[in-house]
Amino acid sequence: MAVNAAELLRTDELGKTERNDIWWTEPLLVVSTLVIFSMYVFWAVTQNANFEVGPYLSPFYSPDLRHTFPALFAQFPWLSPAYLVLWIPLAFRGTCYYARRAYYRSFFLTPPACSVGPSQTASELYEGETKFPFVLLHLHRYFFILAAILAIFHWKHFMDAFFFEQGMGVGVGTVVVGIDALFLTLYVFSCHSWRHLLAGKLNCFTCGAFEKMRHTGWKNQSLLNEKHAQYFWLSLATVWFADVYIRMVASGQWRDVIYIFGQGFTTL
Ligand code: FES
């Protein structure tokens, strides 16, 4: 009797598989990276110090709400401004379609990889994204709008990063902040929710000028959307490094090299 490959690989025991490749490296990398990143973020936002230096602001503290609510921060000086904004990128990333795939596999083990036995407990508890808490994942489309606004602030910080006390110039930090803004933008605008806003619920792509325009937008966005997983990780790395860099310069551990236009090199 003929048995196909999928049947040979099917198993109900956690981690059991006929696969002989190193399938466990991806879930292991995802778990360790996200755990270390989360611990770092928690530490960085509770510091409430060394998050700005010269014209640079840590992306974890963006937008800087101290100027919007001065009375609040005067009354509660221990309050980290990051607490008021960081929930936006965390909620956006936590409800991201790619992130769901990553944590369903790596944290919930349902299953940990293709053709590898799943966690029976997690599989039995999971009832789809129809009940609390997983039903909250549908809020992603609204977090997309907030994340898009956040990306605009990151570009504003990039523009600010050219203006030093000594005059206009460009520093290593300017480049670091710019790379963070670029990859955040690529991550946000490769989102599936943006793809849906562009051409979702459209039955005809050629019925009118507006429909054609939406179709063109959808086709172009598809080029970004194909690489959404890569942008997820690249933007995580660049936002992480931007905070580390600014923190190290602010605390005096590293010197930022700046070129002031018309004057030459100096350091921050
Ligand atoms: S699907 Fe990943 S950010 Fe929207």
* pLDDT, tens digit (0-9, with 9 covering 90-100), for 157-176: 999 999 999 999 999 999 99
Q: Is 106 in the pocket of ligand 1 (CB under 6 A)?
A: no
> In the prediction, which pLDDT does 239 show?
98
In degrees and rounded to multiples of 5, residue 217 shows phi and psi of: -60, -45
Query: Residue 1 domain-assigned?
Result: no
| Structural domain harbouring 115 | 24-39+49-190+227-267
- Cα 161 to Cα 16, 144, 177, 189, 251, distances in angstroms: 52, 26, 8, 23, 18
CA dist., res. 44 & res. 60, Å (int) = 8
Query: Residue 251 domain-assigned?
Result: yes
Query: Residue 242 domain-assigned?
Result: yes
Q: Is 228 in the pocket of ligand 1 (CB under 6 A)?
A: yes
pTM, to two decimals: 0.90
How many domains are there within the chain?
1
> In the prediction, which pLDDT does 266 show?
95
- The CB density around residue 221, as the number of other CB atoms within 10 Å, is 19
Q: What are the pLDDT tens digits along the chain (268 aa)?
A: 454 555 545 557 888 888 889 999 999 999 999 999 999 999 999 999 999 999 999 999 999 999 889 999 999 989 999 999 999 999 999 999 999 999 999 998 988 898 898 888 887 778 888 888 889 999 999 999 999 999 999 999 999 999 999 999 999 999 999 999 999 999 999 999 999 999 988 889 899 999 999 999 999 999 999 999 999 999 999 999 999 999 999 999 999 999 999 999 999 9
> In the prediction, which pLDDT does 86 show?
93
The Å distance, Cα 96 to ligand 1 centre, comes to 4
Query: Residue 135 domain-assigned?
Result: yes
Q: Is 191 in the pocket of ligand 1 (CB under 6 A)?
A: yes
Query: Residue 146 domain-assigned?
Result: yes
Q: Give the up-direction half-sphere exposure of residue 260: CA atoms within 13 A in the CB hemisphere.
A: 11
Among all chains, which residue has been given the structure tokens 């979702």? 200
For the record, the structure tokens of 164 come out as 């030093």
Torsion sign, CA atoms 147, 149, 154, 157: negative
> In the prediction, which pLDDT does 10 show?
53
Query: Residue 13 domain-assigned?
Result: no
CB under 8 Å to 267, separation ≥6 — which residues?
Answer: 255, 256, 257, 258
Query: Residue 219 domain-assigned?
Result: no
User: Are 159 and 135 within 8 A, CB to CB?
Assistant: no
User: Are 60 and 41 within 8 A, CB to CB?
Assistant: yes
- The CB density around residue 157, as the number of other CB atoms within 10 Å, is 24
Choose which residue among 138, 191, 198, 222 to substitute to test ligand 1 binding: the one with the highest number of ligand atoms within 8 A of its C-beta: 191
User: Are 192 and 225 within 8 A, CB to CB?
Assistant: yes
Task: Give 100-148 pLDDT, tens digit per residue.
Answer: 999 999 998 988 898 898 888 887 778 888 888 889 999 999 999 999 9
Smallest CA separation from ligand 1 atom 2, residue:
96
Query: Residue 3 domain-assigned?
Result: no
